Amino acid sequence: MKSFKSIFLCFVIILFFSNVCFAATDDKATDVTIDFTQAEKNFIEEHPVIKLGVDPQFVPYEFIDSDGIYKGIAADHIALICQKTGLEMIIAQDLTWSEAYEKAVEKELDVLPCVSKTKERQQYFLYSEPYFNFQRVIFVNEENTTIKSFDDLYGKTVAVQSNSSHNSYLSSYDSIHLSLYPTVEGALQAVSNGTEAAFVGNLATSSYLIKAYGITNLKYFVIDTEEPQSLYFAVRNDWPELVSIIDKSLSSINEEEKIAINNKWLGIEESADYSEILRIAGIIGIVIAIILAVSVFWIIKLKKEIAKRKKTLEELHEAKEEAERATQIKSMFLAKMSHEVRTPLNAITGMSYLIKKTGVTSTQNIYLGKLTQAARNMLGIINDILDFSKIEAGKIELERTQFDLDKVLQHVINIASAMVEERGIEFVLDKSLDVPTFYYGDPAKIEQILINLISNAVKFTERGTVSFAIRAKSAQDNICEIEFCIKDTGIGMHPEQVKKLFVPFDQGDSSINRRFGGTGLGLSIVKNLTDLMNGEIEVESVLNEGSTFCIRLPLETDINTEKMETKRMASDCFQNVRALVLEKSKNVRTLLTDCFRSFGIAAEVASSEEEAMLLIRKASENNDKPYNLVIADFMTPKKQGIEFLISLKKQSIFKQPPKTILMIPISREDLYDEVEAAGIDFGITKPIIPSILYNGIIEIFKIAPPEATEVLIRQDNLIAPHPYHILLVEDNKTNQFIAQSILEQAGLRVSKANNGEEGYLFFTQNRTNLDLILMDIHMPVMDGYASADLIRSIDADIPIIAMTADAISGVEENCISHGMGHYVSKPFEPDQFIRTILDVLKTQKIKEPEGAGQKDLKNDEGLLLDVADGQKRIGGDPQLFYMILKEYYNENSSVAVTLKEIINNKDYAEAAKIVHKIKSSSGNIGAKSLFEAASELQKALQASEDVDIVKWHDIFQTTFVKLMIEIENILESGSAT
């Protein structure tokens, strides 16, 4: 017993002296004196307070907690530096990381204490020695089997925190598309719920947040090619002494202090080394007592930690709910703003459309067009805000539709013309003749990009010229890279402004907003839309000299329409036309010469009235082929163009008066009435768009193009084939009047209801006589959603088109969930409004109005296969289309059974592959309904959403079976004509 007591006493003494030694060692390490130079001591005396810019959400490295206290690995290092140097380091409050970074760049803040080193940042900061390392990794959903390494990210969209070092790192890889998130937590949640495929960040921060937010379905891969990254103090580049002071302070931090910091924030609790104690305890027989004591200690500590973490999780949950409420309020505000502004805009565009139908003069027609464009411009500002909100949420999508680039350019120029006129500057268009005209893509987004850039150029140019050039840079297969360059002679920018050009709400400096106005969103949206289209944007600018913006977009050429238009422009159309151009501008003369050469028209040019008359007399004296087309600039002749062309038609030198075209300045649309009154055949506004000039010549010479297809004629016919009966449910009397007038002009019969309840009651009393319902969403008494639900409870087939001024994400999906399968956004384009209604009527099995007559089976509204569209896609060959249908039928005959079995086995990845294949081939044969159903089913399968999979699989199966029956009938008939 005495022996045991002796051993135990020795054990206690050893522990006592060990602790004393450790304490002495620790105290000695802490008391190390740093040998500062005199220059460093002077710096500390002159700058006792250092201002820091921090990332409030860079956990666990640095962050601001719910009580507003700065914490983290960097914070603990800063505390030691202050202790060792006597410096006071204060945190700039209430700043986001982006704001803190910008202020540090401008030297409003002195140090960024927790950053990685990048080439871009080194031009603004000096760096300390690294004080902490972290590993860059890839996080994916655990069900993702396609991404296993960094190489698998090529060609994909990757989530990343904006303005982070990972953002800079990934930006150097052109083939990786970035989806920027303001927070790491938001990006991780997006990968967890399937919105994003992958996220690149550092392991420690991401792991910390994954645990904090209870995310359980992610896995990660280390980027093999990447060495561990380091954290540094970034110091303003004019304070090298501070860098040296920080380096010496960091080097004086001993190992015990470093371990304590790491254990505190990375979750590895430091514990004493009990191996020797246990060995001694084994000898003296008290190991059990020690283990019990330690266990009790840790149990108590763990309980406290669990309670602390539970409280933290509850606080995080409350914060998350608060953020969700804030997002909901933001969405409600956007919806309200959009609705309130769009409703009067709908009245402006609708009334302008109706006034145009009342026989207005040419000038009044131009002014009405300007009014409509101004409304669209205002709508564009609303769309900028909504688009920015969608871009922030990663919800913006591109459409794919056929479009005419020249019409897009015409819209852009029309919108810009008012600003150009107001500024009193010159606007020059230069479109290369080798640029194709017809494409597939999203014309609205391209128009939005160009309007933003041209509006900016005009806004910031007080004198001189804005030029707009369009070039074809390269072509491969059916993809053509088109370059749009907008150059101005405006205020220009210095390099620092160029660097911040695409930052949302940033306009270089506050004076820009005061002088020129604007939201500061336009260029940010331009950059995001360009990236979304896989394009590029370059900017060159010189302060007080001007700027050049070049956008390069890879566009899919509509080869068939392009070939058809080429045939229409064959030289034999104009073999009897000889033109004379009177224009003082050399650039315009060159452009017109190139145009006429491409049209196959013989043309000469003159720079003055005298030179033009000399050419006319010379042709007459030499018995040459006479000029039968004269195109003159309004400003070139002495008496101006109208008088010149009037007098020219009276010249006895002509056996027959020539056809005449007047080129009108962009700011003088008022001249169109005079052009009409003077008997001039055609007026065209500068800058000249070749296709507009071409169509004008076709019109005045009454030339029938060799290829005028039935499809194009049918697309422009906006008169209903039968007087279908439409129920219009709308509470706004102005919108009601406009919609009724437009519908009746299209040959449709209209009944009205003032709210959802009236609409439902009218439907129940007239169900058999109605063909389609137009349903507003927000109405008193009963809204459109409730009314649609009641109608759907008794009729699942009648088409209901939702009409709403809400344009935020989710509204269209909400309409579909209430049985409104189609959607029209206000303010609507009247022609597009009618076309949508006629398309819906065409695709529905609608009872034909009495006396309508027998329908042609090829155009039966019940058919799912659009034969005309399918044949158009392969050049209009019926025999080849029949062979394609046969191959489609044979290849897919067993798909319905196979797909059902695979989905029942929950092999969603394999099912998505099958549906993707069906989607592609169905779109190519003109089976649009099946294409749409397959698209939605593929999305549901990729997201593993069971409810949506069941819903869209049922729709897909029903549509697929009906389509196969239609194809079978065609194959049995032996012809696809």
Residue-averaged pLDDT of the chain: 79
What per-residue confidence (pLDDT) applies to 225? 62
Comparing 709 with 780, the larger pLDDT belongs to 780
Rounded to an integer, what distance in angstroms lies between the CA atom of residue 216 and that of residue 222? 19
What per-residue confidence (pLDDT) applies to 386? 59
Rounded to an integer, what distance in angstroms lies between the CA atom of residue 458 and that of residue 417? 10
Rounded to an integer, what distance in angstroms lies between the CA atom of residue 959 and that of residue 962? 5
Residues 6 or more apart in contact with residue 921 via CB below 8 angstroms: 888, 891, 892
Cis status, amide bond into 344, omega within 30 of 0: no
Please check the confidence at residue 763 and state whether its pLDDT lies above 70.
yes
Ramachandran category for residue 66: left, alpha or beta (phi over 0 → left; psi -120 to 50 → alpha): alpha
What per-residue confidence (pLDDT) applies to 504? 55
What per-residue confidence (pLDDT) applies to 874? 67
> What's this model's pTM, rounded to 2 decimal places?
0.40
Please check the confidence at residue 4 and state whether its pLDDT lies above 80.
no
Please check the confidence at residue 390 and state whether its pLDDT lies above 80.
no
User: At 380, is the pLDDT very low, low, confident or very high (cuts 50, 70, 90)?
Assistant: low
| pLDDT tens digits along 438-450 | 899 888 889 888 9
Please check the confidence at residue 66 and state whether its pLDDT lies above 50.
yes
User: At 849, is the pLDDT very low, low, confident or very high (cuts 50, 70, 90)?
Assistant: very low
What is the average pLDDT across 406-426? 77
Please check the confidence at residue 379 and state whether its pLDDT lies above 60.
yes
What per-residue confidence (pLDDT) applies to 271? 35
Q: Which two tokens stand for residue 814?
A: 């909400």
Please check the confidence at residue 147 and state whether its pLDDT lies above 70.
yes
Rounded to an integer, what distance in angstroms lies between the CA atom of residue 790 and that of residue 627? 69
What is the average pLDDT across 646-663? 83
What is the average pLDDT across 381-395? 57
Length of the chain: 977
Which segment, 3-12, 419-428, 529-538, is predicted with the most confidence on average?
Answer: 529-538
Please check the confidence at residue 704 and state whether its pLDDT lies above 70.
no
What is the average pLDDT across 144-168? 87
| pLDDT tens digits along 884-922 | 888 888 888 778 878 888 888 888 888 888 888 888 788
DSSP for 89-158, written as a single string: EEEPPS--HHHHHHHHHTTSS-EEEEE---TTGGGTEEE----EEE-EEEEEETT--S--SGGGGTTSEE
Own/partner pairs, 890-897, CB within 8 angstroms, 24+ separation: 891/921, 892/918, 892/921, 892/964, 893/964, 895/960, 896/957, 896/960, 896/961
What per-residue confidence (pLDDT) applies to 438? 87
Rounded to an integer, what distance in angstroms lies between the CA atom of residue 801 and that of residue 788? 10
Q: Decide: helix, strand or coil at residue 659.
A: strand
Residue 404: φ, ψ to 5°: -105, 115
User: At 707, is the pLDDT very low, low, confident or very high (cuts 50, 70, 90)?
Assistant: very low
CB contact at 8 A, 467 and 517 = no
| pLDDT tens digits along 591-617 | 888 888 877 788 899 988 888 888 888
User: At 94, is the pLDDT very low, low, confident or very high (cuts 50, 70, 90)?
Assistant: confident
Please check the confidence at residue 419 and state whether its pLDDT lies above 80.
no
* Minimum mean pLDDT range among 402-406, 524-528, 678-682, 848-852: 848-852
Dihedral sign from CA coordinates of 728, 730, 733, 738: negative
User: At 209, is the pLDDT very low, low, confident or very high (cuts 50, 70, 90)?
Assistant: confident
Which segment, 362-366, 711-715, 859-863, is predicted with the most confidence on average?
Answer: 362-366
DSSP for 540-601, written as a single string: EEETTTEEEEEEEEEEEE-HHHHHHHHHHT-GGGGTT-EEEEE-S-HHHHHHHHHHHHHHT-
